[in-house]
Amino acid sequence: MDPADITIVLQQIESGDEQAAARLLPLVYEQLRSLAATRMAREAADHTLQPTALVHEAWLRLGADQQPVWKSRGHFFAAAAEAMRRILIDRARQRLAQRRGGRHEHVNIDDVDLAAPPDEARVIRVNDALEKFEVIEPEKAQLVKLRYFGGLTLEEAAQSLNINERTARRWWDFSRACLLRELSEDRA
């Protein structure tokens, strides 16, 4: 996949080319599938959603062949990561409701690692903490979404957000500390 090809198709979508959206999926499919596979590998062992299904559902939520105007390649992948996050959260909430009558389960903060395989309750708790964090630190929250829910590496997330990797590392460290504190307070 050539990033320039994606940029050209995104520009064609912006200019009103009705067939451009149909050309976008083949260009981004493998990268989206890789993101989904990375994310799904970190899911609980009993999950039923497959990476291909996650990509297809995210594509539908993004507008399928009726793509909105994307500001950049990074904007598109950030939106895709957000769509995947919402899908995973929705599924986690459904599964938790089925198993536990909808109650949230508290998790010991010492056991929480943002890179660890999450269960449904943990995914929901992290998402709730992230939503609070996003109100005060939207750019840093976007980095967390790309990494935790989108499965991007720090370098990939930095590129997507058009920031340098050093800044991304600082944001990640700060965000992680804030989220762990929020999760700790939620538990208390």
> In this structure, what DSSP letter does residue 72 have?
S
Separation between Cα atoms, residue 6 and residue 3, nearest integer Å: 5
Question: What does the alpha-carbon distance between residue 36 and residue 42 come to, in Å, rounded to a whole number?
Answer: 10
Of 10-14, 44-48, 120-124, 137-141, the range with the highest mean pLDDT is 137-141
Considering only residues 76 and 102, tell me which one the structure prediction assigns the higher pLDDT: 76
In the predicted model, what is the mean pLDDT of residues 130-147? 91
For residues 115 and 120, the model is more confident at 120
Angle between helices 165-187 and 154-161 (to 10 degrees): 110
Q: Residue 149 contacts by C-beta under 8 Å, 6 or more apart in sequence?
A: 39, 81, 82, 84, 85, 88
Between 22-36, 74-88, 98-112, 143-157, the lowest mean confidence (pLDDT) is in 98-112
pLDDT above 90: residue 165: yes
